[in-house]
Amino acid sequence: MKNKKIGLLLLWTVIILGLLFPLKYMFNQIEEDKIVERYLSQNNLVDLKLTKETALKVSDQVRKDFNIKEASWVGLNMGERPFLREDVATLLTYKEGVCGEGTRVIVDLLNRLGFDATRVTFYNKRLQAEHTLVSVVLNGEEFFVDTINSLPRINTLLREHNISSDDFDVIHYTDDITDRRESAEVSEHKKRNFSKELEYYWLYSYTATPYTKLLTKIGFDVRVFNLDRPSRTFSVLAERPNLLMFIISSILYLLLVCFVHRFQFIKSLYKENED
């Protein structure tokens, strides 16, 4: 009888402690929502029309507020960033970072305002991640919005023109050799706008789902370039690590409860058979 009580006590302890994780992330997300709403309100970024001008206004505000000089940072340590990176609440508190941090904040703000925004990463000829910008789709048309530390000429280019993935010379995969040849020939003769300004960036990838980071973390030296733009839902979750972890930890907690319940049920059946 004593062992049974100890067993039940341990099970309930595990169940209660397991609940702390989703509650922690839920609380963090609620606090983050308050900080973001305050930032939008203080900078008159609420109830704005969904236009490119609005997206640029949000980008300009974040660019103005953030400190991109690493030597003077107080709260952000680039060498000790968490796997899912700092959340928007932390970034808006310290207002420090470079392209990745700026993109996280801008994507999150734009999505909260009703835009369909996601992050897009650019690679150099060595396939190293070189820069990250914001991709926005409005009325079916895509355009890139600047982050916080682009060169002035890139900022001007993005402001004055609707730069998108269409401005990159990327041929999508096909298993048909004839289609490959035809696509290569069309690409060879296709006029590319802004090729000189964008020549340093050889390839783009939508990185809301960090396939490469995940695979590298588990030991695979693999790089995945995603040319398909993710859904708005994935883009929102990608920039809200607390919300993402709340969902994951809640699912794991429910599985734990189901396992405990199943274990108790099997144990009771076993006891009945012994009797």
pTM value is 0.86
Task: Check residue 235 and give its pLDDT.
Answer: 96
Nearest 10 degrees: Cα torsion 76, 62, 160, 234: 70
d(CA 12, CA 2): 16
Domain match, 38 and 67 both: no
180 shares a domain with 263: no
* 20 & 83 share domain: no
Domain that holds residue 21: 1-42+248-275
Instruction: Answer yes or no: do 33 and 57 share one domain.
Output: no
Answer yes or no: do 154 and 271 share one domain: no
- CATH number of the domain at 185, please: 3.10.620
| CA distances, 212 to each of 120, 121, 208, 224, 226 (Å) | 14, 12, 11, 5, 10
CB neighbours (10 Å) of residue 10? Answer: 10
Q: For residues 245 and 192, which has the higher predicted lDDT (pLDDT)? A: 245
Residue 263's pLDDT band, with cuts at 50, 70 and 90, is low
Number of domains within the chain: 2
Is the four-CA dihedral 101, 105, 107, 108 of positive or negative sign?
positive
Longest pairwise C-alpha distance within the chain: 83
**pLDDT-above-90 percentage for the chain:** 56
Both 146 and 105 in one domain: the answer is yes
Query: Mind listing the pLDDT tens digit for each residue in 22-44?
Result: 999 999 999 999 999 999 999 99
Q: Which residue has the tokens 């993005």?
A: 158
CB 225 within 8 Å of CB 206: no
Same domain for 133 and 56: yes
269 — pLDDT class (breaks 50, 70, 90)? very low
- Is the pLDDT reported for residue 8 higher than 50? yes
Closest of 223, 229, 226 to residue 127, by C-alpha: 223
Alpha carbons within 13 A on the beta-carbon side of 175: 0
In this prediction, residue 43 carries a pLDDT of 97
Neighbouring-strand partners of residue 131:
122
CA distance 103 to 100: 5
Amino acid identity of residue 37, one-letter, is: E
Structure tokens at 259: 């396992």
Whether 224 and 122 map to the same domain: the answer is yes
Task: Give CA–CA dist 103/241, Å, rounded.
Answer: 14
Tell me what percent of the residues of the chain surpass a pLDDT of 70. Answer: 81
Structure confidence by residue, pLDDT tens digits, 96-127: 999 999 999 999 999 999 999 999 999 988 88
Residues 254 and 193 in one domain: no
CA neighbours within 13 Å on the CB side: how many for 24?
A: 11
Q: What is the pLDDT of residues 141-191, one digit of tens each?
A: 999 999 999 989 889 999 998 899 888 876 555 566 666 555 555 455 455
- 15 and 129 assigned to the same domain: no
> What is each CA distance from 7 to 32, 87, 146, 161, 172, in whole angstroms?
39, 39, 57, 66, 58
Domain shared by 120 and 150, yes or no: yes
- Give the per-residue pLDDT at 24: 96
| 103 and 24 in a common domain | no
